[in-house]
Amino acid sequence: MCPICYISGFIAALFGGSFIAVVNHPISWLLSIILISYAVYKFYEAKKRGNKMSDEIGKINKPDSKEIIGKRKAFVCVLLQAPPEASKDLHELIQKYWDAVDNNISNLEGKTGVVKRIFVEGIPGKGEDVSVSLKEASLGAWNMLQERVNAGAEFEEFENLEILQKVIDWSKCLNSGLSNRSVAEKIAEELKKESESRLEFINNSIDKNLKEGESCIIFSGNQETNLPDDIEKFIISPPELDMVAQWVKNAQAAMEAQMREPVSYTHLTLPTK
């Protein structure tokens, strides 16, 4: 099983569900819907890609840093955050993940140039608006960016609000328990069209805002995000991500075991007349 896909899916479902339950905020609501919808896809992708991972590992040729200093670079990492009510262990593991991401990107910056642009999936707008929303969505990600922002890195537009809302609304319609096949096909068609428009907007925004020779960070649930051909992509996947994935797998196994346990009624006292 692909650990990146699995952890993205599980945390997305956990985090998204928590936001719907406890947070009443437009941006948080948008994020929760995206995360939950994306979780379903990531669980499927984890299973599909798992069989291919062993063959793919080792085939990636890392370009020499001297060759890419003048090129555009993108450091892509998974946006992880546990809901507030999650265990202390999970929060500590995710903090270790962000510390490792920070160190990995710092090492790359030392070889290829400092980060100038920041893109965040699921949050429309740019500048301070994105910063505030990211702090709510993932404090670990926000903290690791502060030194870079103070040094001049800027939050650029990644999402178009109107397109994002259409994707969310069509997704909600498709998951509403439709009974008519033709209606479901029509909704799926509209969802596909708007999803393609969203990906096109994202690609164009990166291409427009990331200047020649600059480096950027992309926070995304999908590390396979398509980028313009001339951008060198670095997938930031430290060992700590596997540690979080293992914790999640263990937690899921424990939950499933608990659900399989028979319910005992011996402690119940029947009412007497």
Query: pLDDT above 90 covers what percent of the chain?
Result: 31
- Distance separating alpha carbons of residues 115 and 108, to the nearest angstrom: 10
Residue-wise pLDDT tens digits, 130-183: 999 888 888 899 999 999 999 999 999 999 899 988 988 888 888 887 888 899
Q: Render pLDDT for 81-98 as a digit per residue (tens, 0 to 9).
A: 777 777 888 888 889 999
Query: Do residues 71 and 230 touch, judged by C-beta distance below 8 A?
Result: yes
The string of pLDDT tens digits covering residues 35-94 is: 443 443 344 344 444 444 434 333 334 555 566 777 899 999 988 877 777 788 888 888
Q: How far is CA 117 from CA 27, 201, 238, in A?
A: 21, 17, 22
The pLDDT score that the predictor gives to residue 67 is: 66
Query: pTM for this one?
Result: 0.72
Distances (CA, A) of 246 to 2, 222, 252, 253, 255: 12, 19, 10, 10, 14
Residue indicated by tokens 């985090």: 15
User: Cβ neighbours of residue 27 under 8 Å, at least 6 residues apart?
Assistant: 123, 133, 136, 137
